[in-house]
Amino acid sequence: MAYLFDTPEQRQRMLAAIGAASVDELFQQIPESLQLGRELALPGAVSELELEQDLQRRLGEVGGGGVCFLGGGVYDHYIPAVVDELTSRGEFYTAYTPYQAEASQGTLQAFYEYQTLISQLSGMEVSNASLYEGGTAVSEAVFMAMRVNGRDGRVVVAGSLHPEYRQVLRTYFSRLGTEIVEVPAVDGVVSVEMCRGALTADTTALVLQQPNFFGCLEDIGGLTAAAHAAGALAILAFDPIGPGLLKRPGDYGVDIAVAEGQPLGTPLQFGGPLLGVFTCRSEYVRKMPGRLIGRTVDRRGRECFVLNLQAREQHIRRDKATSNICTNQGLLALRATVFLSVVGPRGLRRMAELSHAKARYAAACLTRLPGVVLKFERAFFREFVLETPRPATEVLRSLSDRGFNVGPELSRFGGSLGAGLERCFLVALTEKRTRAEIDALAAALGDVLGS
């Protein structure tokens, strides 16, 4: 049932004021031949109760009834209760883009705080107010690099970047002349030497990920230096929990840093909606995509916040805009703002340390099993690639039958991560996983491989 207020009598009064005999008359603007003339063939309306019962029945068990060791870009991190409580407030939840600053100071200040928190987290000078998610943020970063250095011949991409991000980049650039060159990962990381070889005089940027898709830590300092030596920008996709333990993108001197911000207080939701984090050097601010909130004063000198530098955006600049994005991920940016406020620097450090310690413990337990090895003998943060004697798809299916959701298997991404990875899969750990769960996973894997 639609949410409607007016009684039949009130509708008649409205029609009389309009001067129309019926609602049908209002639709006479639509030529009769184009009118549907039947009811839409959709399931009949159901009540809230019936729908809840139907969904409960169909959706089955939470997480398929399994413990989550899944990674590959989104992670099962803890979300403090206060995040849902505050972001559910209707005044935030049911407002829209803060075009009218006087009616949106709550949103505007929160997003100014978001931008600042993300700058502090990333070590980068400026952040925008969000993009869709990590993959499109990478593509937007490459577009921005082209505006910054005027080079459009080539972009060099690490083969250790999330394969889906690379696919997005290929789709976004499918009609443009820019050559996308992938430098394959060797033993879990890309080599500075090979990247240097791929960087040409018309290369706009080198795109990297830290930790990379395999969970391994790259030599971002060396790679950034190689990009800069070739006159290219360094673009880094980073893990937003990483800075609790690891160097920040800004510490490496990268030019643009982006992230999938989901770990900052957003649930998995089958991969969306997520949070595209986008940061860069302040000198590029007029070339940035997406909304920016600025601090200013009002007519009476009172401090306040506004949508800033809108002349970059599609509603003003149209085909010359820095991006086509309009609706962004405001609510998820608000979630990240509350999350970082309440977790703080010590909480984030604890999250990162716990995730890391548990990942190391899990790696140690799992590799004690016969034939099970770390695919890459390299330092990792919170996920790693495990290799077993059996095809990964089979192993993961058997583990899920035993109540452990692990992966993804690297073969899921075709050959985009390299050859010979059919027996490899990712294992990801967060602060939520307990020693008992890890021990049980190891036992289950032993069982699967032994059987």
Partner 1 sequence: MRNPTATRLLFEMSESGRGTVVFPESDVPDVSGVPVPGAEHLASVLLPLPELAEPDVVRHFVNLSTLNMSVDSHFYPLGSCTMKYNPKRHERLARLPQAVASHPYQQESQIQGLLSVLYELQGMLAEISGLPGVSLHPAAGAQGELTALLTAAAYFRHRGEQRTRVLFPASAHGTNPASAALAGFECVQLSGGRDGFVDLSELRAQLDERSAVFMVTNPNTLGLFEKDIATIAAMLHEVGGLVYIDGANMNAILGRTRPGDFGGDMMHYNVHKTFTGPHGAGGPGAGPIAVRDFLAPFLPAPVVTFDAVRNWYSLTEPEHSIGRMRSFFGNVGILLRGYCYIRTLGGRGLREASDCAVLNANYLLSQVRDFLDVPHGHRCMHEFVASAKRLKEQTGVTAMDIAKRLLDYGFHAPTVYFPLVVEEALMMEPTETESLATLDAFAAALRQICSEPAELVKGAPHTTAVCRPDEVNAARKPVLCWSAQC
**Range 186-205, binding partner 1 (CB under 8 A):** none
Note the residue count of the chain: 451
Cβ at position 73, least distance to partner 1 in Å: 6
Tell whether residue 375 is a contact of partner 1 (CB under 8 A). no
Tell whether residue 302 is a contact of partner 1 (CB under 8 A). yes
CA distance 131 to 438: 35
- Are 190 and 158 within 8 A, CB to CB? yes
> Nearest to residue 276, comparing CAs of 137, 166, 127?
137
Q: Near partner 1 by CB under 8 A, which window of 27-35, 144-152, 179-187, 415-423?
A: 27-35
Q: Among 180, 309, 440, 443, which residue interacts with partner 1 (rule: CB under 8 A)?
A: 309
Using the minimum distance from each CB to partner 1, give the nearer residue, 35 or 201. 35
Tell whether residue 179 is a contact of partner 1 (CB under 8 A). no
Using the minimum distance from each CB to partner 1, give the nearer residue, 34 or 419. 34
**Range 39-58, binding partner 1 (CB under 8 A):** 39-48, 51-52, 55-56, 58
Cβ at position 26, least distance to partner 1 in Å: 5
Q: Among 374, 385, 395, 417, which residue interacts with partner 1 (rule: CB under 8 A)?
A: 374
CA distance 229 to 200: 10
**Range 378-437, binding partner 1 (CB under 8 A):** 378-381, 396-397, 400, 405, 407-408, 412, 431, 434-435
Structure tokens at 408: 């993804």
Helix, strand, or coil here: 145?
Answer: helix
**Range 252-281, binding partner 1 (CB under 8 A):** 260, 267-274
CA distances from 352 to 263, 348, 381, 385, 439 (A): 11, 6, 8, 19, 20
- Are 213 and 188 within 8 A, CB to CB? no
Q: Which residues pair with 293 in a beta bridge?
A: 307
Cβ at position 412, least distance to partner 1 in Å: 7
Using the minimum distance from each CB to partner 1, give the nearer residue, 51 or 201. 51
Q: Near partner 1 by CB under 8 A, which window of 189-197, 201-209, 227-235, 314-322?
A: 314-322
Cβ at position 361, least distance to partner 1 in Å: 4
- Buried b / exposed e over 57-77, threshold 16 CB at 10 Å, is eeeeeeeeebbbbbbbbbbbb
Helix, strand, or coil here: 437?
Answer: helix
With a CB cutoff of 8 Å and minimum separation 6, the contacts of 255 are 145, 148, 205, 233, 234, 235, 280, 281, 284
Cβ at position 418, least distance to partner 1 in Å: 19
Tell whether residue 206 is a contact of partner 1 (CB under 8 A). no
**Range 78-107, binding partner 1 (CB under 8 A):** 78, 80, 82, 85-86, 88-107
> Nearest to residue 413, comparing CAs of 243, 153, 165?
165
Q: Among 142, 206, 292, 369, which residue interacts with partner 1 (rule: CB under 8 A)?
A: 292
With a CB cutoff of 8 Å and minimum separation 6, the contacts of 294 are 112, 305, 306, 307, 308, 309
Q: Near partner 1 by CB under 8 A, which window of 153-161, 194-202, 226-234, 330-338?
A: 330-338
Cβ at position 431, least distance to partner 1 in Å: 5
CA distance 412 to 295: 46
Structure tokens at 200: 């040409």
Q: Among 305, 385, 395, 427, which residue interacts with partner 1 (rule: CB under 8 A)?
A: 305
CA distance 384 to 427: 6
With CB under 8 A, what is the number of residues at the site for partner 1? 211
**Range 127-156, binding partner 1 (CB under 8 A):** 127, 129-130, 132-136, 143
Cβ at position 387, least distance to partner 1 in Å: 15
